[in-house]
Structure 1
Amino acid sequence: MSYNLFEVYGIELEYMIVNSATYKVNHIVDKLFIKKSGSITSDVENGKIEWSNELVAHVVELKTNGPTADLETLDVLFAENVREMNRLLKDFDSELLPTAAHPLMNPEREMQLWQHSYSKIYALYNRIFDCRGHGWSNVQSMHINLPFSGDAQFEKLHAAVRILLPIIPGLSASSPIFEGKITGFKDTRMHVYKTNQKEIPEMTGKVIPEQLFSKQEYHTGIFEPINKAIRPHDTENILDHHFLNSRGAIARFDRGAIEIRVIDIQECPKADVAIAVLIIEALKLLVSEELVTLEDQKQWHENDIFEIFNAVIKDAEQTLVESEKFAAIFDLKAPVSVKQIWEKIYSLVKENISEKHQESIEFLLQNGSLSTRILNALGEDPSEENLLKIYKELGQCLQENRMFLSNKTVKTN
C-alpha cells in the first residue's frame, strides 16, 4: 500500500544491552527474544511496537509495527517497551543503554555478530568490511521513514531531505566519547559512518544523496553502481541494493519511503520522538516551498551540503554555518549557528506541534544536544569512573523516559 507525503511514519530506535554491574556490552538479544516469545526469532511483535535484532548480538531495535499516523503518544509506547525489555533483562543482570555509542566499548575485542536468521548476510558483510569497527558495532540511531507516492512526491521529499540532512546532527548528536576518550566530534557515530564502508565507496557516497529526483534517475545513479561494485564480493547474490545503499537518507522504492539515518539515538524516547516531530515539521515547511522553491532546493550539489554536514558532526548545535546561500534558505545571514537555524525553524512550525513535544524541543534548544550535555557533565574528569556514573544516569533516564541535564535530570510528565 502506498501513502502520500506525511500521511504516516515509521520510527526505529536502536539500543544496546549492557551488564548492569560492569556496563560491558552483553550479547544476549537472542536470550531476550526467547524470554519474550519462547523461541529464537529475529522479530517479536508486541502490539503496536515490534522488536528486531541487528547485525551485532548486543543491539536490539524497537520500531513501529507498520506505519503510524500517531506521533503524539509514540514516545509512551516506546517507553513501555523499554521498561518491559528491562524487566526481562533483569534475569540476565542486564539492561538497555541509550545514546549512539558506548563510551568504553572496544569493538575489536567485544564485537559478536548475530548468529541466527540473516546470519549469512551479516557474515558476508563482516567478510567484506570487517565489522569489528565502531562504525559497525558501536552505533545506535533513530531512523525516520517518510512515505511518498510516485515520482512527483519523491522529488519534493528527496529535495527537502537533502537540504535538512546537514543540520540534523545539531539536534541529535549523542556520541562524543569512544573508548574512554573525548573524540573531538560531538557526532562521532556519523564521523565513523562516513568511512565504515570505504572498501566499496559506492554504498555510502558522500552521505548526502546525489541530485536524483526520480525512481529511474535513482536506479541509474545509485543502485546500478552499487550492484556493479558488490557483484565480485556477493557471489551468491544474497544482498539487496535497498539495504546496501548506506547514504544518510535512502530511498526505499520497495516500500515507497525515504529513510533518514543521520539521527543519533537520545537518552529517552521522549527526546527521540520530539526530534522526529521537529524534523518532520521542518520537512513539511521545505516541501511547501514557503522558504525556498523546489527548483532552488534541487540545485544544491551533495559536495556543498556535505561541507556543512562535516562541520556539524564536529560541533553540533554550536557549528557556525558560513554559507550565505544556506543561511538565506531560512531568511538568516551567515555566519549563523546551527542552533539559531533550528530556533528559526521551530519558530515557524511551533504552532503545528503539541505542547508536550514543544516542551522537549525547547529543552533541547535551550540546553544543547545530548553530546553537549554529556561533555558538560564530564567537565574536567573524563575518567572511567565518572563516565560510568554519567552513563548509568543515562540508563535511568531511559528507564524513566526523562531528559538528561548535566549532573541532574529534568523530570517531565
Structure 2
Amino acid sequence: MSDPLHLFDAFGVELEYMIVDAESLDVRPIADLVLEKAAGEIISEVELGEIAWSNELALHVIELKTNGPAASLDPLPGFFQQHVKQVNEYLQPLGARLLPTAMHPWMDPHAVKLWPHDYNPIYEAYNRIFDCRGHGWANLQSVHLNLPFCGDEEFGRLHAAIRLIMPLLPALAASSPICDGKPSGFLDTRMEVYRTNSRRIPSLTAAVVPEPIYTEGDYQRDIFEKMYADIEPHDPEGILQFPFLNARGAIARFDRGAIEIRVLDIQECPAADLAILQAIVATLQAIVSEKWTPLAEQQLVGTMPLSQIFLESIRTADATHLEDAVLLRQFGWNAAHRPTAAELWRHILAELNLTPAKESPLDVILTEGPLARRILHRVGHDLTHLKSVYGELAECLSQGTMFRRQPA
C-alpha cells in the first residue's frame, strides 16, 4: 500500500468539454463513440498515459483528467493540450469537434441525452429525482481540482483555506455569460444554475460554500448523514447514498483523502485552466501556512458572509466590490480602500511574488478580464456574432491559444 499523500504533495485535475457539430456548433451526444475509438469498446473510462478520458452525465460531454495524482501542475498544460488534439482527431471524421467554456450558448437542455451505458442507473436516479432536463444538469462544463490531505489536522487546515478562497474564484474563472442564446446577466451562469439544480433536497448543495467543519467525524454527522437521510425517501434503493451525492462547491472525499473544488468554469484552453490552478494552489499554500492570519481565525469565518460574496461574484466576477473586512484580512489586505476582486487577486499574487509575465495566460485574465467578460465584449449587442465568437473559442481550444478581448 502506498504512503498517504499530504497537503500539496500531488494534484488531481479534471477538465470537461462539450462535443459539438463542426459546422453548426450544436451539441453532438457522441462521447461514447469517442471513448470506443480510444479503447476499442464502449467503456466509461480509458487510461492513456498521463491522462485518462471518461464520460459524464450528458452524452455530449467528455472529461479529460490526470490519470491518478500528478506530482506537479507544471507539465499538465502540455499533456492536456495533446489529448485535446487527439480527441479532436477522433471527432473530425464524425463532423464534430470540442468546444470550451462552461455552458453551451444556445443549447436547449430539454434535448439532453444521458450517458446510456455503465453507471446509467446512477444518472437515471438523478434524472428521476431532479429532472436533468435543465441547464444545471445538462449544460455545464467545469474544472475540478483535487487536493490531498492526511488526517483531521490537515483536513481542517485545507478545508478552512478553500472556504476562504471560494468567493474569489469566479473573478478568474467565470466563462459562462451566455445562456439560451443571450447574455444571462451573470458572468458565471454555470454556478447560478448549478446552485439551484438540487433545490428539491437543499442539503445537497447547501450554500455552495461549505460549512465550517474541520474533522471527519463532524463532516460525517453534519453533512453526510443529513444528506443521506434527506434523499432516502426519493432513493429507497440507496443508489445515490455515497459521498459523490455532496454537491457543495468543495466536497470532502475521505475515501480518497482529498477535497475536490468544483466551482471553476472551464477556460478556452488548458494553459488558461492550469494558470488559474497554479494561482489557486499558491494562495491556498499561503493560507494554510498562516501567512496572513492564524488558523483559529480562518476557521471562525462564517458561511453566510462567504456565500453572499460568492453570489455577487458569480454575477460580476472580477468587478465584484469586496467590502467584508474579515475576508480581506485573510489575504493580507489592510488598506482602507475596498478593492474589487481583480485588485485583490493582483495584491495576492504580488504578496506571493507571482506577478504573471506579460501576455501569459494569467496576465491576459487579469488585464482583459475573465473569459466571460472577453466573450461579452466580442459579442457586443449583435447576437448574430455568437456563432463566430464560439467558433473562435473552439479554435483557441484546438490550438492552445488565449481568446483575446480584441481579435488578432
Question: By the TM > 0.5 criterion, same fold?
Answer: yes
Whether the aligned pair in 1 keeps the contact of 2:50 and 2:67 (CA below 8 Å) is yes
Whether the aligned pair in 1 keeps the contact of 2:287 and 2:330 (CA below 8 Å) is no
Residue 237 of structure 1 aligns to a residue whose secondary structure is coil
User: Which structure 2 residues correspond to residues 9-408 of structure 1 after superposition, within 5 A?
Assistant: 9-108=11-110, 110-332=111-333, 333-351=336-354, 359-383=360-384, 386-408=385-407
Tell me the CA shift for residue 81 of structure 1.
0.2
Which amino acid in the other structure matches residue 338 of structure 1? A
Residue 34 of structure 1 aligns to a residue whose secondary structure is helix
Which amino acid in the other structure matches residue 190 of structure 1? M
Question: In structure 2, how many angstroms separate the alpha carbons of the residues matched to 1:70 and 1:159?
Answer: 23
Question: In structure 2, how many angstroms separate the alpha carbons of the residues matched to 1:364 and 1:61?
Answer: 24
Which amino acid in the other structure matches residue 184 of structure 1? G
TM-score (norm 1): 0.96
Which amino acid in the other structure matches residue 311 of structure 1? E
Q: How many residues align?
A: 404
Tell me the CA shift for residue 317 of structure 1.
0.3
Tell me the CA shift for residue 328 of structure 1.
2.5
Whether the aligned pair in 2 keeps the contact of 1:206 and 1:303 (CA below 8 Å) is yes
Tell me the CA shift for residue 329 of structure 1.
2.4
Question: In structure 2, how many angstroms separate the alpha carbons of the residues matched to 1:90 and 1:167?
Answer: 38
Whether the aligned pair in 1 keeps the contact of 2:356 and 2:362 (CA below 8 Å) is no
Tell me the CA shift for residue 37 of structure 1.
1.4
CA distances 1:143-200 after superposition (whole Å, capped 9, x unpaired)? 0000000000000000000000011011000000001110110000001111000011
Question: In structure 2, how many angstroms separate the alpha carbons of the residues matched to 1:286 and 1:36?
Answer: 41
Tell me the CA shift for residue 349 of structure 1.
2.0
Residue 95 of structure 1 aligns to a residue whose secondary structure is strand
Question: In structure 2, how many angstroms separate the alpha carbons of the residues matched to 1:395 and 1:50?
Answer: 21
Whether the aligned pair in 1 keeps the contact of 2:368 and 2:374 (CA below 8 Å) is yes
Question: In structure 2, how many angstroms separate the alpha carbons of the residues matched to 1:161 and 1:331?
Answer: 16
Whether the aligned pair in 2 keeps the contact of 1:167 and 1:338 (CA below 8 Å) is yes
Residue 350 of structure 1 aligns to a residue whose secondary structure is coil
Residue 251 of structure 2 aligns to a residue whose secondary structure is strand
Question: In structure 1, how many angstroms separate the alpha carbons of the residues matched to 2:405 and 2:357?
Answer: 24
TM-score (norm 2): 0.97
Question: In structure 1, how many angstroms separate the alpha carbons of the residues matched to 2:361 and 2:376?
Answer: 20
Question: In structure 2, how many angstroms separate the alpha carbons of the residues matched to 1:36 and 1:120?
Answer: 24
Question: In structure 2, how many angstroms separate the alpha carbons of the residues matched to 1:263 and 1:346?
Answer: 19
Percent pairwise identity: 46
Residue 69 of structure 1 aligns to a residue whose secondary structure is coil
Which amino acid in the other structure matches residue 344 of structure 1? H
List gaps (5 residues or longer) in structure 1: none
Q: Runs in 1 of length 4+ with deviation above 3 angstroms?
A: 353-356
List gaps (5 residues or longer) in structure 2: none
Question: In structure 1, how many angstroms separate the alpha carbons of the residues matched to 2:140 and 2:174?
Answer: 12
Residue 90 of structure 2 aligns to a residue whose secondary structure is helix
Whether the aligned pair in 1 keeps the contact of 2:292 and 2:329 (CA below 8 Å) is no
CA distances 1:192-211 after superposition (whole Å, capped 9, x unpaired)? 11100001111001001001
What does residue 8 of structure 2 align with?
A: 6
CA distances 1:318-377 after superposition (whole Å, capped 9, x unpaired)? 1101112222223334521000110011112235x9969x92212211111000100111
Whether the aligned pair in 2 keeps the contact of 1:321 and 1:334 (CA below 8 Å) is no
Question: In structure 2, how many angstroms separate the alpha carbons of the residues matched to 1:330 and 1:230?
Answer: 38
Which amino acid in the other structure matches residue 397 of structure 1? C
